[in-house]
Amino acid sequence: MTATLTPESRVGRREWAEWMLDRRWPVATAVVLVLLAAWQTYGVIAGLPEYILTPFEIAGSVTELLASGRLVELSSASLGRLTAGFLLGTTSGVLIGLLSGVSRWFGDIVDGAVGFTYPIPKITLLPILAIWLGFTDSTRILVIAIAVFFPAYINANAATRGVDQELVWVAKNAGAGTLRTVLQVVLPAALPRTVAGIRQSLALSFIFMFATEAIGSSTGADAGLGGEMFAARANGEYDVLWAALATVAVLGGTIDAGFRWLVGRLMRGQELEVTGRG
């Protein structure tokens, strides 16, 4: 008996097929699986140094840490810092970037400060801030926020200033005021590149989460994944090191994929740099 497809089900299947093809996730997944299989096979046949585990051994380590509750504690500490720093830095970067793109005089003032501070390696601020605040969560969150501010600001600023002026002229000729032109023309046109900057900030937040936890790391659950990895390296606990690394990779990939999916749903029909075409 052949099932009859309703128009709604056809649309749903077509959207699902388009989603798979657009993201090329089946190919990417196959590549990852092949690499993991080759890694595992080589480790079993030829053997690996004790400090390099096979995928099955890493999976076992992750399972053990999960069962003990240790991995959840470490991940919670790291994600808490990452989320706070990311939201603080990205929100301020986007808002200031959009405002500086709309207001030329304000943009000239901010651009001077950004141009002076942008080349400074942001991780070098950690010991300086630690003198004032100590190696606390506040210090780590602040460093993450400063690091992610710049890509968010630069992309939002460039996106706003790069809006086609003909669109602005059309809106003004149609009788739209400055505020309405900004809200209905400039901001929507600047949104794709702004979102791309947010995605860059998201990736940076993971990098600086790890770096700030590794430098001056604390002990216990407060160490986070970065601190736990460095402690495991010093103690020769390579199973813990690889388990923490795998957790960072999975968390980062999952959050990035979720961000791309959400943006794709909210901004369907626009050409987004964030979703990518490869």
Q: State the helix-helix crossing angle for 238-266 and 70-102, rounded to 10 degrees.
A: 40
Q: What percent of the chain has pLDDT over 90?
A: 31
pLDDT value of position 22: 56
Distance from C-alpha of 29 to C-alpha of 35, rounded to nearest angstrom:
10
Which is more confidently placed, 273 or 184? Answer: 184
SS3 track for 154-173? HHHHHHHHCCCHHHHHHHHH
pLDDT value of position 277: 40
Neighbours of 73 (CB within 10 A): 17
> Does residue 269 carry a pLDDT above 60?
no
Closest CA to 201 of 112, 80, 91, 275: 91
Name which of 35-39, 112-116, 159-163, 219-223 the model is least confident about.
219-223
DSSP state of 58: H
pLDDT bucket at 78, cuts 50 / 70 / 90:
very high
- For 127, the token pair is 């010991």
Q: CB under 8 Å to 206, separation ≥6 — which residues?
A: 82, 248, 251, 252
Model confidence over 202-227: pLDDT tens digits?
999 999 998 888 886 566 667 889 88
Q: Is the pTM of this model over 0.85?
A: no
pLDDT value of position 168: 64
228 residue type, one letter:
E
Name which of 10-14, 56-60, 109-113, 129-133 the model is least confident about.
10-14
Average pLDDT, the chain: 81
DSSP state of 5: P
Indicate left, alpha or beta for 47 from its phi (over 0: left) and psi (-120 to 50: alpha).
left
Name which of 65-79, 121-135, 182-196, 233-247 the model is least confident about.
182-196
Contact 143, 123 (CB under 8 A): yes
Mean pLDDT in residue range 259-278: 63
Domains, the chain, ranges and CATH? 69-266 (1.10.3720.10)
Distance from C-alpha of 77 to C-alpha of 225, rounded to nearest angstrom:
8
Q: Alpha-carbon torsion 63, 65, 71, 72, what sign?
A: positive
pLDDT bucket at 80, cuts 50 / 70 / 90:
very high
109 residue type, one letter:
I
Mean pLDDT in residue range 255-276: 70
Model confidence over 154-193: pLDDT tens digits?
999 888 887 766 666 666 666 666 666 666 677 777 888 8
